[in-house]
Structure 1
Amino acid sequence: MTSPTRTPTAIDAVADDYVTRIAELDPMAATGMGLPGHDHELTDLSPAGHDARAQAGREVLAKLDGLEPADDVDRVTLSAMRERIGLELELHEAGEDLRNLDNIESPVQQLRDVFDMMPTGSVEAWENIAARLNGLPGAIDGYIESLTAAAARGDVAAVRQVREALGQARELAGGSSFFTSFVQGPEVDAVLDESASCSLVRKDLEHGAAAARAAYGKLADFLERDLAPRAPEADAVGRDRYALWSRYFLGATVDLEETYQWGLEELARIVAEQEEVAAQIVGPGATVEQAVAALDADPARKVLGTDALKAWMQETSDAAITALDGTHFDIPEPVLDLECMIAPTHSGVIYYTPPSDDWARPGRMWWAVPEGVTEFNTWREKTTVFHEGVPGHHLQCGQAVFARDTLNSWRRLACWVSGHGEGWALYAERLMADLGYMDDPGDRLGMLDAQRLRAARVVFDIGVHLGLPAPEQWGGGTWTAEKGWPFLLANVNMAEEFVRFEFNRYLGWPGQAPSYKVGQRLWEQTRDAARTAAASRGEEFDAKAFHARALNLGSVGLDTLREALA
């Protein structure tokens, strides 16, 4: 995994300078990357802020146009930056940044979630948190200004997304708001003593929490009174918007109709494989539902309480790292540390946050446990630990951050392509099965359950947003959200509340959900092409070397990945 230190090039210098500029214009992104100096600030979400970031993108592309690559690393950097920044500018010109509103990944959530990644271990850290909390009203005002400007152009999210965001904003504005508990929690007391200076920080925190609640209250009022009446009922975004977002999330252009048909076939294949495993669990002729019931009733496959869940996540993650290091992967020393966390929110989402640039903040796997849920079935989630941890996101992101001797800071920290990242994590789940770590029938059914979810949403997402023909089994005619709901219920083996969240997510975030399974498909095609090429040379395919080479590129668009590995 280590390589001789590479002499930085002129292209690296442009990329590094651009990261500095990103941090200045988008302080929340700086926090995500672990770059110091901006944790007290918030991103300007007004139209002027979006224009400034777009202009920075135009300027860096102009600088790159005058430079020649010095080596293969430069060639990948040029391809990746032109693809990523070019698409960001396309989205900006289409007004997508102004209208950004959904139930999972818009400023409504981002302005709260950024606090999960902030340091909390010093007085200075809490001073930064207080400053950022007190800056939330201005950030919300800028966001409202952008939504208003988009609405004047007729660009408003579907009313379903407005209502979902409204509910979240009301919750963050209420008495049980995250902001209230955050500034009164044990982490605060562990750092701030009773000195006069710390008392001032506590007052700033309390004032900031009140300001944050008020800002979200203002946002909720705006969404309810101003935006909802102008929001369309239709959920589908249509072909043009969908194709643009699909390219953005994949870093590749795919035939959407062919991908939809493949999704149907892949879903049927996974269901058939599930039925084979169900017969192993219960007996010949058993249904998947019967196997699920048997596994859920098995006390050996259950943990009780969030403390036990956190311990099980950590134990499972640590065991995977130990087993894979030195055999199938050579894992850098800092990446051996993955911290499993129970998130302060309750959406049911399991997610990963990467390490900071200086590794002071380790990579973390988070589980946002829904309110009232106290029992967890490990057979469902072992595959998720591999997805979020090693060999999934943690290995992928950690290896990129570690590659300081080879990659510039944009490649290591700032570039993230969903199809590459989520595609790799889903690829990693299947890889662990292929390597024998999911041979237990219950764990294997859990892996297939996750794969089935991702295949089903390829069908749902493309079918509904493009209005493609629905199979007769699901109502025939043209796909609609209403037809998609029973389809998801039949293919997503989770509580209805979670399925509803996912349903709303797919409708409001077009093209993102399919990037997992389509990304996995493109990863597997790239690997298979490398295997075929090795055979044509009379060589044995070295999977370990292939994975190392691929991951050492960092997160890039999947077209760039294939070009780099060809």
Structure 2
Amino acid sequence: MSSSTPESTGPAALSPRTPTAVDAFAEDYFERLLALNPEEATVLGRPGVETEYADYSPAGREEVAALQRETLTRLAELQPADDIDAVTLHAMAERIGLDVALHDSGRTELNNLASPPQGVRMVLELMPAQTEQDFTHLAGRLRNLPAALDGYWASLVHSAEQGHVPARRQVEAVAQQCRSYATDDGALAGYLTSGQQAQVSAATQDALAAGTQAAQQAYRVLAQRLETELLPQAPETDAVGIEAYSLASRYFTGTTLDLGETYRWGLEELARLVAAQEDVAQQIKPGASVQEAKAILDADPARQLAGTAALQEWMQRLSDEALAALKDVHFDIPAPMDVLECMIAPTQDGGVYYTGPSDDFSRPGRMWWSVPPEDESFTTWTETTTVYHEGVPGHHLQIATATLVKDRLNSWRRHGSFVSGFAEGWALYAEQLMAELGFLTDPGDLMGMYDMQRMRAARVVFDIGVHCGFEAPPEFGGETWTPERGKEFLRAHLPISPAQLDFEFTRYLGWPGQAPSYKVGQRVFEQIRAEREAAAQQAGETFDLRAFHTELLALGMVGLDTLRFAMRP
């Protein structure tokens, strides 16, 4: 897309710009939205609301929806002053419109990964925990956590009264999580230990103890309510159906998918990746199957890590090496976004995730590994690509770049718009890109990258197939997908431990539309790049990959339709 602002591509895409009326409108909306979401202020490192939570009750949810409806009405009256404004208006209309549609659907989110029971606890991980004041804030937020969960429970009841009850599997999983958070050695108990190690005053330690106990009791209460009041109403069926799935898919991707075409493409992509792994297996040992090649890699002592301390040290070393090698060669990575911390998460749910830097970068971007207690050893060949996915050039580079360009984009563009298809699509594209750039020449690391790509392709098939009632491949029965048949399919294609498989299986069933967004987003990034390369060739110009990536990441996070609008040749 040609820009009416000077210097729109390459490193200049990070250059300052004079704010417009559209920017002022977006800033005002973002500030009003932030006032209703104190946890997001903590994510951004903003002071003043360190002890507060959002109102998760029906009234609180309706207050947010009212602001969004008002914003949509006013949005239609605005005219762009430049191409950046045009992208802002396009993105806001798409994102906020879907927020309202989801609210109006009457459903309250409950799943094992990304619903309020996890969110109100996870925000505590992002709070500073060094000074007396830090622990006073932690104690205050812990004290207010019960009210947040009470409001959330009221919304679950309200949704149930309208006929929207989460599936039984999700209710049971979240109840179990809540109980695990509340144990004496659970995720919440660590704040007491941290306060003792920081040698805070007796008064602050008492407040921390009282807040921790209140939060633990609140989770026990929520677990009991889920089990005794919601579970008897919960349907056995996990599939949400095509109508609900289509809305969820639009939210996670920012585009309307042809679900049948995407399902068929997922099957084709899966077959392509299996064939690629078979080729790599021959590099590891001629004549070996993929499983035999993996067994050889697993048995290699040089590829083994014992314990979480070794895992964390290896993650940090690999991340630092990647950042140093990519900086100012393949990507623009100016300070302060050239710092990434690798952490072991306080939970043991399974999975890896990234949290962005504070707006001033005083808290750096962080990669978190949540390790199930039974997982005590790790293999580097399986996890190298995960470090690139979560760190550089994956999530960290994308989110830190958006955080950095505060002199170019408004706050809503940088922080208020989250689209899984963009974030996860970019991270999956980044994995493949590292192979292209020569960072995965080791056959084991390359096998691991294909493993992760294969897993994401399998999720396209599973997620769409199960939730929409499509027909399974012949080797898995050839009839309508069931969760049980789907789990066997995942077991065949997901290279993860049994504990991780159980977690992921439950996640996909409870978070419809999210899992395919990785591969769908990657597909769009690759298509846009191919279009740009073809346009450059047609014009007799050299395609600048580094400049292309900088221009793309400087957009912030937008839906895939908006991405195509912004990046058209």
TM-score range normalised by the length of the shorter chain: over 0.9
Q: Secondary structure at the match of 1:376?
A: strand
For 1:226, the equivalent position in structure 2 comes to 229
Q: Does 1:244 align with 2:247?
A: yes
The letter for the 2-side match of 1:73 is I
Tell me how far apart the structure 2 counterparts of residues 372 and 494 of structure 1 sit (CA, whole Å): 13
Deviations 1:492-525 (A, max 9, x none): 1111111111111000000000001111011111
Deviations 1:24-64 (A, max 9, x none): 10111222222222221011110001001111112222232
Q: Which whole-Å CA distance do the structure 2 matches of 1:543 and 1:449 have between them?
A: 26
- Residue identity opposite 1:126 in structure 2: F
Q: Secondary structure at the match of 1:341?
A: strand
Instruction: Specify which of 419, 430, 433 is matched with residue 432 of structure 2.
Output: 430
Q: Which residue of 2 aligns with 1:162?
A: 171
Q: Aligned residue for 2:46?
A: 35
- 1:204 is matched with 207
* Equivalence map 1:210-289=2 (5 Å): 210-284=213-287, 286-289=288-291
Q: Which residue pairs with 1:140 in the alignment? A: 149
Q: 1:44 matched to which residue of 2?
A: 55
- Out of 425, 441, 463, which is 2:465 matched to? 463
Deviation at 1:154, TM superposition (A): 1.0
Partner of 1:478: 480
Partner in structure 2 of residue 88 of structure 1: 99
| Whole-Å separation in 1 of the counterparts to 2:413 and 2:44 | 11
Measured in 2, the distance between the counterparts of 1:72 and 1:191 equals 50
2:113 corresponds to 1:104: yes
Aligned residues: 557
Report the alpha carbon displacement of residue 181 of structure 1 after superposing the two structures with TM: 2.5
1:441 equivalent in alignment to 2:443: yes
Report whether the alignment pairs 1:8 with 2:19: yes
Could you say what secondary structure the match of 2:549 adopts?
A: helix
Residue 190 of structure 1 and its aligned partner are, at CA, apart by 4.7
CA deviations 1:277-300 (Å, max 9, x no partner) are: 01110212x111101110000011
Structure 2 residues not aligned, in runs of 5+? 1-10
The alpha carbon displacement at 1:317 in A equals 0.6
Report if the CA contact (8 A) 1:24-1:38 is conserved. Answer: no
- 3-state SS of the aligned residue for 2:336? helix
Which structure is richer in relative contact order (CA contacts within 8 A, separation 6 or more)?
2
- For residue 344 of structure 2, the aligned residue among 337, 342, 345 is 342
**Counterpart AA for 1:117:** L
Q: Could you tell me how far 1:262 is from its partner in structure 2?
A: 0.3
Matched, 1:53 2:64: yes
CA–CA distance in 2 between the matches of 1:200 and 1:22? 34
- Please name the residue that 2:186 is paired with: 177
Task: Give the whole-Å Cα distance in 1 for the aligned partners of 2:182 and 2:393.
Answer: 39
Distance, in Å, in 2 between the alignment partners of 1:51 and 1:118 is 28
Which residue of structure 2 aligns with residue 399 of structure 1?
A: 401
Letter of the aligned partner of 1:157 in structure 2? P
TM-fit CA distance, 1:4: 4.1
Deviation sequence 1:436-468 (CA, Å, 0-9, x none): 111110000000000010000100000000000
- The answer (yes or no) to whether the contact 1:263–1:455 under 8 Å persists in 2 is yes
* Structure-2 separation of matches of 1:20 and 1:172: 32
CA distance in 2, matches of 1:494, 1:180: 29
* Aligned residue type for 2:363: R
Which residue of structure 1 lines up, in the alignment, with residue 131 of structure 2? 122
Residue 319 to residue 92, structure 1, CA distance change in 2 (3 Å):
same
Q: Residue 161 of structure 1: SS of its match in structure 2? A: helix
C-alpha separation in 2, matches of 1:190 and 1:359: 25
Q: CA deviation at 1:535?
A: 1.6
Deviations for 1:343-378, whole angstroms, at most 9, x for unmatched residues? 111122111000000111100011111114221100
Instruction: Report the equivalent of 1:310.
Output: 312
Higher mean Cα deviation, 226-235 or 170-179? 170-179
Look up the equivalent residue of 2:247 and give its one-letter code: L
- 1:22–1:29 contact (8 Å) kept in structure 2: no
The alpha carbon displacement at 1:393 in A equals: 0.5
**Residues 459-489 of structure 1: CA deviation (Å, up to 9, x unaligned):** 0000000000111100111111111011110
Percentage of matched positions with identical amino acids: 54
The one of 133, 140, 144 aligned to 1:131: 140
* d(CA) in 1 for partners of 2:368, 2:147: 29
| CA shift digits 1:245-266 (9 cap, x unpaired) | 1000001111110000000000
Distance 1:4 1:162, change over 3 A: closer
The residue identity in structure 2 corresponding to 1:26 is: N
Structure 1 residue corresponding to 2:375, chosen from 373, 378, 387:
373
Whole-angstrom distance in 2 between the partners of 1:487 and 1:93: 34
| 8 A Cα contact 1:332 1:402, kept in partner | no
Task: State the distance in 2 between where 1:559 and 1:355 align.
Answer: 27
1:24 is matched with which residue? 35
User: Which stretch shifts more, 74-83 or 19-28?
Assistant: 19-28
**Would you say the 8 A contact 1:23–1:35 is kept in 2?**
no
Partner of residue 414, structure 1: 416
Q: Tell me whether 1:189 sits opposite 2:196 in the alignment.
A: yes
Contact 1:382 1:443 (8 Å CA) reproduced: yes
How many Å separate the matches in 2 of 1:37 and 1:511?
36
- Pick from 90, 105, 114 the counterpart of residue 79 of structure 1: 90
Distance in 2 between the 1:214 and 1:92 partners? 29
From 331, 350, 353, the equivalent of 1:351 is 353
Distance between the aligned counterparts of 1:418 and 1:555, measured in 2?
A: 9
Query: How far is 1:192 from its partner?
Result: 4.0
What is the alpha-carbon distance in structure 2 between the residues aligned to residue 478 and residue 490 of structure 1? 18
Q: Indicate if the aligned counterparts of 1:4 and 1:405 stay in contact, CA closer than 8 A.
A: yes
Q: Secondary structure at the match of 1:340?
A: strand
Instruction: Map Cα deviations across residues 287-334 of structure 1 (whole Å, 9 max, x no partner).
Output: 111011100000111122222211111110111111111111111111
**Aligned residues: CA RMSD:** 1.1
Give the gaps of 5 or more residues in structure 1: none
Is the contact between residue 191 and residue 208 of structure 2 (CA under 8 Å) also seen in structure 1?
no
- Cα distance in 1 for partners of 2:478, 2:524 equals 29
Give the Cα separation in 2 of the matches to 1:375 and 1:168.
24
CA distance, structure 2, for counterparts of residue 372 and residue 264 of structure 1: 32
